[in-house]
Amino acid sequence: MSDNAPQVVSVGEVMVELSRGKNGRFSLAYGGDTFNTAVYLARNGVSVAYATALGDDRYSDGIVELAKAEGIATTSMLRVKDRLPGLYLIETDKSGERTFHYWRETAPARELFELADWSVVAERLLTAKLIYFSGVTLSIYNNTGIGRFLAVLELARAQGVKVAFDTNYRPRNWRGDVARARTVYGEAFKRVDIALPSFDDEAAMWGDASPEAAVERLQAFGIPEIVVKNAQNPALVVANGTREFVPITQAVKPVDTTAAGDSFSAGYLAARLSGSEAVPAVHAAHALAGHVVQHRGAIVPRAQSVH
Q: State the Cα angle at 281 between 295 and 153, rounded to 5°.
A: 95
CB of 168 closer than 8 Å to CB of 136: yes
Alpha-carbon torsion angle 203, 207, 212, 217, nearest 10: -120
Instruction: Exactly one of 33, 201, 208, 262 is catalytic; name it.
Output: 262
Answer yes or no: 117 catalytic.
Answer: no
Q: State the Cα angle at 71 between 67 and 72, rounded to 5°.
A: 50
Q: In angstroms, rounded to a whole number, what is the distance separating the alpha carbons of residues 35 and 248?
A: 24
Q: State the Cα angle at 133 between 130 and 134, rounded to 5°.
A: 150
Q: In angstroms, rounded to a whole number, what is the distance separating the alpha carbons of residues 191 and 115?
A: 23
- The residue type of 281 is A
HSE-CB of 86 using CA atoms within 13 angstroms: 24
Q: In angstroms, rounded to a whole number, what is the distance separating the alpha carbons of residues 164 and 59?
A: 29
77 Cβ contact partners less than 8 Å away, ≥ 6 residues apart: 50, 51, 52, 53, 54, 63, 64, 67
Beta strand 15-20 with 242-246: parallel, antiparallel or unpaired? unpaired
235 Cβ contact partners less than 8 Å away, ≥ 6 residues apart: 227, 228, 229, 245, 246, 264, 282, 285, 286
Q: In angstroms, rounded to a whole number, what is the distance separating the alpha carbons of residues 175 and 192?
A: 25
CB of 268 closer than 8 Å to CB of 281: yes
Q: Which residues are catalytic?
A: 262
